[in-house]
Homo-oligomer: A and B are copies of this chain.
Amino acid sequence: MHAIAVHGGAGTLPAADLTPAKERAYRDGLERALRAGFGVLDSGGASLDAVVAAVQVLEDDPLFNAGHGAVLAANGQHELDASVMDGRDLRAGAVTGVRHVRSPVVLARLVMDRSPHVMLAGPGAEEFALEQGLVPVPNTHFATERRRLELEQMLAGRAEAGRESLMGTVGAVALDAHGNLAAATSTGGMTGKKWGRVGDSPIIGAGTYAANDCCAVSATGHGEYFIRAAVAHEIASLMRYRGLDVVAAADEVVRGQLVRLGGSGGVIAVGRDGRVALPFNSEGMLRGAMDSRGLLVTGLLQD
């Protein structure tokens, strides 16, 4: 049994944004990411390689708020966060506030594999990227006209910070044939974010968590609430100590605890049995799942 799930952000999907052509484009992007990760799993590869491959596809796709297509901070810059966790041994890597790294999730993996640290921030993280031989890209590499307009609207007071149509983040979780779980998350954060704001995406235990004894989780939504609820680790705790399965545990956190706290968004999670959960409490969540039993689904709004 092997399985992968991906997400491309949660929040409100305005009807205008959901023309048939746009819906097709979102579903195509999600499916490309699923197939990239599933291909790794299908050839006996590691879940860790699969989630990084899937997230890279979403980072390079301008539709999603990560890598190329990321939102703009108030200073007009793209400031990117990412993290990755290996369920085999709880190794993890994360970066926050990078501006010149084409694939933040690849840098997060390098932090995990080739540094003694878990999390690197800002210019220091970029220095590490250079030492690892990553070729820097200009910040404009991530630019799209859509995000420029979103920031302009926000700064003009026509939209609220952090309330853009879609609280974008991308992520992937996977179980491989060897029984190993892994999770990865990448984001441009909130449109118009200020003061070096760090959301849940690079926080191990909040936006990303994986442990072979229970589950792999990647979250998307209003990050501040996801940090306070320690969303990803809380799902693991409910499985470990209350004996919930992955669907019940993810549901309890997303539709129970987060709703009570006031936090909107969702998660993707996969259990050690390959069951996938894709719950969200917002109007929509871009999501998809694929497994070795023939499952292949993508979804945008409530079913």
Using Cβ atoms and an 8 Å threshold, which residues of chain B touch A116?
161-162, 224
Q: Are B117 and A195 in contact (CB under 8 A)?
A: yes
Looking at the assembled complex, report how far the CB atom of A203 sits from the nearest CB atom of chain B, in whole angstroms. Answer: 6
Q: Are B119 and A122 in contact (CB under 8 A)?
A: no
Whose C-beta in chain B lies nearest to the C-beta of A74?
B124
Using Cβ atoms and an 8 Å threshold, which residues of chain B touch A97?
121-122, 124
CB under 8 Å from chain B, chain A span 218-244: 223-224, 227-230, 233-234, 237-238, 240-242
Asked if A268 is at the interface (CB within 8 A of a chain B CB), the reply is no
Name the residue in A118, A233, A242 with the highest tally of chain B Cβ atoms < 10 Å from its Cβ: A118
Using Cβ atoms and an 8 Å threshold, which residues of chain B touch A115?
195
Asked if A25 is at the interface (CB within 8 A of a chain B CB), the reply is no
Asked if A71 is at the interface (CB within 8 A of a chain B CB), the reply is no
Asked if A127 is at the interface (CB within 8 A of a chain B CB), the reply is yes
Looking at the assembled complex, report how far the CB atom of A21 sits from the nearest CB atom of chain B, in whole angstroms. Answer: 34
Whose C-beta in chain B lies nearest to the C-beta of A200?
B118
Asked if A196 is at the interface (CB within 8 A of a chain B CB), the reply is yes
Whose C-beta in chain B lies nearest to the C-beta of A231?
B205
Using Cβ atoms and an 8 Å threshold, which residues of chain B touch A204?
203, 206, 227-228, 230
Interface residues on A, range: 35 or more
Indicate whether A117 sits within 8 Å of B224 (C-beta atoms), given known contacts A127-B195, A195-B124, A233-B205.
Answer: yes
CB under 8 Å from chain B, chain A span 179-206: 194-199, 203-206
> Which of B90, B121, B194 makes the CB contact (< 8 A) with A228?
B90
Q: Are A120 and B196 in contact (CB under 8 A)?
A: yes
Looking at the assembled complex, report how far the CB atom of A102 sits from the nearest CB atom of chain B, in whole angstroms. Answer: 18
Indicate whether A92 sits within 8 Å of B122 (C-beta atoms), given known contacts A116-B162, A205-B206, A241-B237.
Answer: no
C-beta contact mask, A13-34 vs B, less than 8 Å → 1, else 0?
Answer: 0000000000000000000000
Q: Are A196 and B227 in contact (CB under 8 A)?
A: no
Q: Are A230 and B242 in contact (CB under 8 A)?
A: no
Q: Are A117 and B228 in contact (CB under 8 A)?
A: no
Q: Measured between alpha carbons, how far is A136 from B234 in the docked complex, in Å? A: 38
Q: Measured between alpha carbons, how far is A116 from B189 in the docked complex, in Å? A: 14
Whose C-beta in chain B lies nearest to the C-beta of A73?
B124
Q: Are B161 and A198 in contact (CB under 8 A)?
A: no
What are 8 A-B residue pairs whose CB atoms fall within 8 Å in the complex? A90-B229, A92-B227, A97-B121, A117-B195, A117-B197, A118-B223, A120-B195, A233-B233
Q: A-side interface residues toward B, CB under 8 Å?
A: 85, 90-92, 96-97, 115-125, 127-128, 161-162, 194-199, 203-206, 209, 223-224, 227-230, 233-234, 237-238, 240-242, 261
Taking A91-B228, A118-B227, A238-B241 as known contacts, 7 extra A-B pairs with beta carbons closer than 8 A to each other, sorted by chain A number, are A90-B261, A117-B198, A120-B198, A121-B121, A121-B198, A128-B194, A237-B237
